[in-house]
Amino acid sequence: MSRSLSRSSIPFAKLLKLSRPRFWIYVLGPYLVGLAAGAAALNDFNQWPVILFGLFFTFPANLLIYGVNDIFDYETDKNNIKKTDYESLVTPAERPALWKIIALATLPFLIVLPVVAPAALAALAAFLFFSIYYSAPPLRAKAKPMLDSAFNVLYIFPGVFAYYLSGGRDLSVQLVIAAWCWAMAMHAYSAVPDISADRDSNLKTVATLFGFRGTLLLCLLLYAASAILSFDALGVLSVILGTAYVALMLYSMTRRSEAELLRVYKIFPPINTISGGALFFAVFLSKFFQSL
């Protein structure tokens, strides 16, 4: 794969930037939490499929998500200051090379899928479907308000996949819905700084539908719902995390422009990383503390 990357017209440094390393934790985190929830023993973490797919949910999976997104978003992204200054832009000339690299980074992992449990296979298939068709036609969910947020269930499926990969059974539907609410709020919040650029490009999103403060209020409600639904499983941790995100939404409502909110938004990935780490250790220690 490295030779193919070197022959590409896209430098690896740009590919890495396109994969949004600061967002890798959004799929790797759920994967690790799913492993902790599904594993019956510490040795389950050492199995080769667990390690292999742990690698997948770093660069390859994120290049798939964000690379496909950038391939289909040029007309919108070229007017978006967040893309030109904070992220990176994929030009039409770069699309064929990027498609090839996404395929080369993804297909080797799919070859070993026959060895995983059917439920895990279904979860990974769902991850691929929602990841691609969030941006790609004919569905292009990101251009359909509310469906765009709903499609961010894609961030939950790495956890579901890992849960069944490590031997878990009877996954709680209530917890999946709680995680889905969290993922929808994450998406909607991320769309708020893009409102002007999306409206200028005639792209309809959950944020263009509800507006600046309306979307932030929706995020607040979704984070609160996530905390309530996860309370039975997480207890006080759900209260702490729910309070933190509600407070962030309230603070964001005091910002007067998208540019001001973008400065706040830049601390969003670190907050999510800390929250994901707390969730992982809470699940891990509750299951394996006695064996450590």
Read out DSSP for 122-166? HHHHHHHHHHHHTTSTTT-GGGSTTHHHHGGGGGTHHHHHHHHHT
**Rounded distance between C-alpha atoms, residue 130 and residue 114, angstroms:** 21
pLDDT of residue 84: 55
Peptide bond into 138 cis (omega under 30): yes
Q: Provide the token pair at 201.
A: 């490009």
- CA distances in angstroms from 140 to 69, 99, 136, listed in the order given: 10, 17, 5
Residues in the chain: 292
**Rounded distance between C-alpha atoms, residue 28 and residue 237, angstroms:** 20
Picking from 239, 253, 122, the residue whose alpha carbon sits closest to that of residue 130 is 122
What is the total count of domains within the chain?
1
Q: Which residue blocks in the chain are alpha helix, DSSP H? A: 2-7, 12-18, 25-38, 48-56, 59-72, 74-77, 81, 95-110, 118-133, 147-150, 157-165, 173-191, 195-200, 206-234, 236-253, 258-265, 268-288
H/E stretch holding 116: none
Q: Provide the token pair at 195.
A: 């409102």
pLDDT of residue 81: 60
Non-local (6+) Cβ contacts of 278 within 8 A are 237, 240, 241
**Rounded distance between C-alpha atoms, residue 106 and residue 104, angstroms:** 6
Non-local (6+) Cβ contacts of 176 within 8 A are 156, 160
CATH number at residue 170: 1.10.600
Q: Provide the token pair at 196.
A: 């002007």
Query: Which position has the token pair 């979860």?
Result: 123
Domain that holds residue 151: 2-291
Picking from 213, 210, 215, the residue whose alpha carbon sits closest to that of residue 189 is 215
CA dihedral (211, 213, 217, 219) positive or negative: positive
**Rounded distance between C-alpha atoms, residue 174 and residue 243, angstroms:** 20
pLDDT (tens place) for every residue of the chain, 292 residues total: 444 444 447 899 999 999 999 889 999 999 999 999 999 888 888 899 999 999 999 999 999 999 999 999 887 776 666 655 556 788 889 999 999 999 999 999 999 888 889 999 999 999 999 999 999 999 999 999 999 999 999 999 999 999 999 999 999 999 999 999 999 999 999 999 989 988 988 889 999 999 999 999 999 999 999 999 999 999 999 999 999 999 999 999 999 888 899 899 989 989 999 999 999 999 998 877 755 5
- Return the exposure string of 113-122: e unless at least 16 CB atoms fall within 10 Å of the residue's CB, then b: eeebbeebbe
Q: What are phi and psi of 14, to 5 degrees?
A: -75, -40
**Rounded distance between C-alpha atoms, residue 134 and residue 138, angstroms:** 10
